[in-house]
Chain A
Amino acid sequence: MRPFKYTNAKNISSATKLLEGNVKAKFLAGGTNLLDLMKEDVEQPDELIDITRLDLAQIKIITAGANSGGISIGGLGRNTETANHPIIRQNYPLLTQAILAGASGQIRNMATNGGNLLQRTRCSYFYDVNMPCNKRQPGSGCGAMEGINRMHAIFGWSEKCVAVYPSDMSVALSALNAAVTVRNAGGQERSIAFSDFHRLPENKPEQDTNLNPGEIITAIEIPKNNFAAHSYYLKVRDRASYAFALVSVAAALELNSNKIVQARIALGGVAHKPWRALKAEKMLVGKEATEANFKMAADAEMADARPLEHNKFKVELGNRSIVRALQMAFNSGRS
């Protein structure tokens, strides 16, 4: 680990100013991702600005604005507390399930909501500084493209990068049309729609998100919805727990008896960002909630997949997982 300076941020304004003033500085939240990457020499900040003492951990019902009636979760709230908050459990169980499907109890106790959104890919070529990786070192090439790419993307990848984004929490947030509230050093706040928060790799895989330099995530807002009774997070992985997804599906249905009023489907483990299955969603609106319709929607969505050498299975797996997650959502989580 390279030597670095440690600074304890007093308030939000000083935190963002410190970050803006030093391009090589990084915020330190739970540290569960950043410190690992520093030990591997992947991240090389010369200063860590500890933001864990900032007053940004509240979970509260939004009382004004476009998302009024929805919920706001603090950027520095811990994953465990967020998942287990009574309002989240009751009104946004999809988020609870997704968070609890990730990492381990100990890591979730440390991990923050903002840090979770900004966690970096688990691609082993990214992690190994002796391997080529355009995300880590622009221009060095993509090790995974013709390497071992079983875990990699089937949607939205570019010649520059085939990595997938690993967060489970974000897959649920994507399905729930969340928005990320960020603040810059000048004190200005802006809200970024979740679908615009993470990027596809295109020509700039080194940039994971559309966060500007110096911005801090203060909160994540989830609009009010009618999905609580019919939502499900399915995570398929190589072992029963403590593994990143091969494919995951966040599914939510709003029903009028058996008719689908609204459907939300987001996939994890398949792209550089949570992959909203918009095609499938659109096909389901107004239809009966039947296995045949679920299958038709899954087929349509997965038809666009572009698998790599070792991850062809993800197309079939993704298809089946969409159907299964929708069925589970329809059955209120009972198989």
Chain B
Amino acid sequence: MISIKSINSMEDKNTITGTPVSRIDGILKVTGKADYSTDHPIKNPAYAVIFKSTIAAGKITDIDTSLAEKSPGVLSVITHKNAPKLNTKGGIRGGAMLQSPDIYFYGQHIGVVVAETFEQARHAAHLVQVKYEKKEGKLDFEKLAEDAVLPKDKEKADAKRGDAKKALEIADVKVEEIYSTPIEHHHPMEPHATIAEWQGENVILYNSSQIVNGAQSAAAATLNLKPENVRIVSPYIGGGFGSKGGQWGNLVLAAVAAKMVNRPVKLALTRQQMFNSVGLRQRNLQKVSLAATKDGKLTALAHEITTHAAMQDEFVEPCGDCSKIMYDSPNSLITYRVVAMNLILPTYTRGPGKSTGSFALESAMDELAFKLKMDPIEFRLKNEPERDPSNGKPWSSRTTVQCLKEGAKAFGWEKRKAEPGQNQQGNYLVGYGVSCGTYPAHQRPSSANVKLKRDGNNVTATIELAAADLGTGTYTILAQTAADALDLPINKINVKIGDSDFPPAAGSVGSVGATSYANVVNDACIKVTDELIARSGKQFFVRPTAAKLMISENVSEFQTRADSKELEGAENYSSHSFNANFAEVWVDISTGMVKVERFLAVTGAGKILNPKTARSQIIGGNTWGIGMALTEESLIDPRWGNFATRSLADYHVPSNLDIGTMEAIFIREEDKAGNKLGVKGIGEVGIVGVAAAIANAVFNATGKRVRQLPITPDKLL
């Protein structure tokens, strides 16, 4: 059951922004008319199927494609022996582009079969015979963790304030524990898929891309083309969660295949292939040490992270970010150590670093509150920082206190029993848990066209920018924004996005999409009106709308382009979205099965452009957080380096029955330090803290502290 109880961000009188407009692309989607990447109608396509290495480290000594080539319908079999030379430093992530016989991870792409049908291609892929020279792989994280070293990434250098180790030594009360989070996979509903179509020297790539311009530049550089020779078309995206932010080998292999067979090619990954093709959320071991005085004032906060990256490349998710800014402690230490493994390159995964880091930090906060015999909300309030502790900057706005207080009231926190194991209902133990979360808020450079058209007295506007809609509601909020800025009804606005032929825009990544897109569209609409006023040469007492000017000045077509970036002075503030999460869990006493009966997220994320799509973002993030807490885990067999969890029957995302009552409340605020509209972004913050709230609730229910996700029944017996 899902209840709708969202509070609008502001009293937006007479504006359509801020109101719960249903998705303008909703009908297209539910009627199957939205053409996702490979749905795009294309004449005479061939089908490509990738095949993969079955060792984790070593090299291919022989690859025999003769049987596959003779198989019915096969047009071409591409391997490192006949693939064209590509630029492997062009920005495609994870290697695996058939450029050498070397193998760095199990399931690395080693070839592509192109055939008349998908079935023929898949069958022929089984007929390829590969011989390897196998090397011992680095596959056992538990053992390798001891050899982890300082990352190359400067952002991950040791960050010290005061002397946390010393403060821990002399502390009244402390917690020092290791929290473990498993490898997770993004598994968007739509697997990564591409149609590549060459037109002379130009290639069109219909491809699911969270960053349209990023996909364009990476594909161009890798294929040794100029960006203008590559067009990315990505009008609809069936989810991405970070895995479609950077682009992976499959994108350029589609282009290579299309070139080699001289025909458009469709290449879609299978669900099984998704496990080792498009990144993953890395395994993290996080030691969190907290010290406090007897009355609950933090004196030390240390967060020491050990994780893994790939053999050829490094990616370390910023698990220490929440610990940097959430609480006021005079002594702080954040460190990262990383070890290379024969595994696909980890990558951005919803709430990168914050969702995993907050599990460690917010669990430890709960553990320390318990030791202090303090209510965990009160404990957090007591350590609320006035300024960003990591850099001393003032907050552009910080809503943690409101989120906690309003949430406690709405959730009925007072019913929580402080002692664990005290609330039994039949065969269940019931517990309440709380946590906080945060995610940075930024506007990124973006440009947009607004094109006005008049037909008699009917004025319509078309908005164009290379933005992405991951299924989040970008189309809708941009139509709302333009409708208000132009003072036109929303049905007169035509939003066109997801095409690199449009003005360049930020990606729908890192929670910058809504802020960057809405602000540039707003700017473009104001600019077009300004330009129409200037063009009229008249002076107005009351600012006329663009539509009125088009009519009164008898203009039939008019357009402009705006280029926007974060407001000047934004860098003087620390800008973040904040939340507080409340979970009620029921734990089956005999079987250890956990049900999240109620979940409430209270979020302060600036101006909420559309409470309906915003709420979907939050409860979507919460739902993945429930998966992170209870069910999701990818397991490697260290003997081979393959994933033993290899389909959605083994990798458990929550089912409908796992989700109880979900409620989202937004704090009324506008934060205009960084952008004119006062928007902060909500894509990531919805998952941050969720796992900790649930683990804390499980502790409150049972007295068992689970520090190793996911909390499956066996861990509660």
* Residues of chain A having any CB pair with chain B under 8 Å: 1-3, 39-41, 122, 124-125, 127-128, 130-131, 143, 146-148, 150, 234, 236-244, 246, 313, 316-317, 320-321, 323-324, 335
Contacts and interface: CB of A to CB of B under 8 A. Distances in A.
Contacts of A128: 642, 646
B54 interface: yes
A304 B654 CA distance: 34
A238 B631 contact: yes
A240 B714 CA distance: 14
Contact of B426 (A130, A131, A240, A335): A335
A316 to B, nearest CB: 5
B650 interface: yes
Interface in B82-132: 119, 122-123, 126
Given A317-B591, A320-B591, A246 B655 contact: no
Interface in B227-276: 272
A236 B649 contact: no
B695 to A, nearest CB: 16
A307 B657 CA distance: 30
B122 A1 contact: yes
A317 B640 contact: no
Given A236-B591, A317-B592, A1 B649 contact: no
Contact of A246 (B126, B426, B595, B714): B714
A243 B654 CA distance: 10
A321 B655 CA distance: 22
Contacts of A122: 649-650
B649 A324 contact: no
B590 A323 contact: yes
A241 B656 contact: yes
Given A148-B644, A317-B717, A240 B54 contact: no
A40 B595 CA distance: 34
B658 interface: yes
B220 to A, nearest CB: 35
Given A1-B122, A124-B644, A316 B72 contact: no
Contacts of A146: 639
7 contacts: A131-B640, A147-B637, A239-B657, A240-B658, A241-B658, A320-B591, A324-B427
B713 interface: yes
Nearest to A166: B649
Given A1-B119, A239-B652, A313-B717, A147 B644 contact: yes
Contacts of B494: none
A321 B656 contact: no
Interface in B576-613: 590-593, 595
Interface residues of B, number: 37
Given A240-B593, A321-B591, A131 B713 contact: no
Contact of B630 (A39, A239, A246, A317): A239
B424 interface: no
Contacts of B631: 238-239
Given A148-B644, A239-B654, 5 more contacts: A124-B645, A124-B646, A127-B646, A150-B714, A238-B713
Nearest to A315: B717
Interface of B: 54, 72, 119, 122-123, 126, 272, 426-427, 590-593, 595, 630-631, 635, 637, 639-640, 642, 644-647, 649-650, 652, 654-658, 712-714, 717
B58 to A, nearest CB: 15
Quick one: which of B642, B647, B714 has the most chain A CB within 10 A?
Answer: B714
A127 B592 CA distance: 28
B713 A236 contact: yes
B712 A238 contact: yes
Contacts of A39: 122
Contacts of A321: 590-591
| Interface residue SS majority, chain B | loop
Contacts of A323: 590
A242 B655 contact: yes
Quick one: which of A128, A147, A237, A240 has the most chain B CB within 10 A?
Answer: A240
Contact of B652 (A1, A148, A150, A238): A238
B427 to A, nearest CB: 5
| Interface residue SS majority, chain A | loop
A97 to B, nearest CB: 15
Nearest to A129: B126
A59 to B, nearest CB: 28
Nearest to A147: B637
Contact of A317 (B639, B657, B713): B713
A324 B717 CA distance: 14
B675 to A, nearest CB: 40
A131 B54 CA distance: 9
A243 B642 contact: no
B585 to A, nearest CB: 13
A168 B458 CA distance: 63
Quick one: which of A124, A147, A323 has the most chain B CB within 10 A?
Answer: A124
Given A240-B657, A241-B656, A324-B590, A2 B123 contact: yes
A324 to B, nearest CB: 4
Q: Which 8 A-B pairs have the closest CB atoms?
A: A313-B714, A240-B657, A148-B644, A241-B657, A324-B590, A320-B590, A130-B54, A236-B591
A41 B592 contact: no
Quick one: which of A3, A234, A238, A239 has the most chain B CB within 10 A?
Answer: A239
A335 B646 contact: no
A143 B649 contact: no
Contacts of B592: 236, 317
A315 B590 CA distance: 13
Nearest to B72: A3
B652 A243 contact: yes
Nearest to B270: A39
Contacts of B645: 124
B126 A41 contact: yes
B658 A130 contact: no
A150 B635 CA distance: 11
A188 B590 CA distance: 47
Contact of A124 (B591, B650, B658): B650
Contacts of A143: 637
A241 B657 CA distance: 6
Contact of B649 (A130, A148, A234, A244): A244
Nearest to B633: A238
A316 B717 contact: yes
A317 B593 CA distance: 11
A148 B639 CA distance: 10
A46 to B, nearest CB: 13
Contacts of A40: 272
Contacts of B639: 146-147
Contact of B123 (A3, A130, A244): A3
A219 B481 CA distance: 64
Contacts of A2: 123, 126
A329 to B, nearest CB: 14
B143 to A, nearest CB: 16
A321 B635 CA distance: 26
B503 to A, nearest CB: 43
A120 B537 CA distance: 79
Contacts of B650: 122, 124
A321 B714 CA distance: 12
B373 to A, nearest CB: 32
